[in-house]
A and B are shown apart, each in its own frame.
Chain A
Amino acid sequence: MAKWSFKKATWTPVAVADTVNFTDSGYMGLMGGSTTQRIKIMEVYMGGQATASAPSLMILSRDSTVQATPTALSTGESNAALDPATAALAAAMIAFTASTTKPQRSATLGLLSLSYNAFGGIVRWVAAPDEEIGMLGNTASFGEVSLSAYTGGTPGLTGSHIIYEPL
């Protein structure tokens, strides 16, 4: 399958504790397009855009409560294939930043802890080949992964992307 990039040009993460509803537009979420779809996450990048010190405890985590009724991506947000020849999928992945039923970060299935200062800082994680983070389906807890801020910091303006591959 082809690789895709879910990007958010500029946003301010909203800090929330584990198993608490995310705030719309304050996180990035990725969910499988069907009960059987597998996804591999291979890169996470964040570049700070804040104009004052903004230590941010960013977490890539599986979600213990998954979203329902997602809102379409808005200006500055996109979910696009890296290769222009990529065919449309029968069951497209759901990249979202807002929804009616809010997702919640799992307290036990955190994947990456990416603390940085959004005032000029950069974070990038790339998986080794064949060691990507796996997702399955569209239900908790393997079917949805989110990039969000953990409580304790003062998250600042950020630009970010997640590169992944549906199988």
Chain B
Amino acid sequence: MSSKIGGHTGYLLIDNRASPGVSEEFIRASGKNAPFAPEGTCFEADTYTCSHCHAVVIKNPQRQRERAICRKCMRVVCDTCITECVPFNKVLEDLQNQAFHNVK
């Protein structure tokens, strides 16, 4: 396992190799922007979770541009969360602390 920033990736598998699968038209008709695997195919991809918004991002293997790394929290972030560093875990920690104080 890599130790560089962004080196740890999640994994998404949609295996329709033994299945009629899901067509692109079907996904489009649903209005969702979702990964899909047509009949007889298998979709595998690395994923990462944006440190700031916790969106799970499917990595595009053909992407040439570097992924954004927040220099404050030193984690990979999605393309829409580059500007301000507000890690989602920090938000949860703050809310948790607030809840602890309310409980006591």
Report A29-57 residues with CB < 8 Å from chain B CB. Answer: 35-36, 38, 48, 53, 55, 57
Knowing A121-B16, A124-B13, say if A134 contacts B88 (CB, 8 Å): yes
Cβ contacts under 8 Å, B88 to chain A: 134
**Contact of B8 with A131 in the complex, beta carbons under 8 Å:** yes
Q: B interface, how many residues as a size bin?
A: 35 or more
Q: Which of A119, A136, A151 has the most CB of B within 10 A?
A: A136
Name B50's closest neighbour in chain A (CB-CB). Answer: A131
Q: Among A116, A128, A133, A137, which residue has its beta carbon within 8 angstroms of that of B48?
A: A128
Q: Among B13, B48, B89, which residue has its beta carbon within 8 angstroms of that of A123?
A: B13
Report B70-104 residues with CB < 8 Å from chain A CB. Answer: 88-89, 92, 95-96, 99-100, 102-103
Where the two chains meet, the residues of A that have a C-beta atom closer than 8 Å to any C-beta of B are 35-36, 38, 48, 53, 55, 57, 111-117, 119-134, 136-137, 142, 150-153
Where the two chains meet, the residues of B that have a C-beta atom closer than 8 Å to any C-beta of A are 8-16, 18-23, 26-27, 29-37, 47-49, 51, 54-56, 88-89, 92, 95-96, 99-100, 102-103
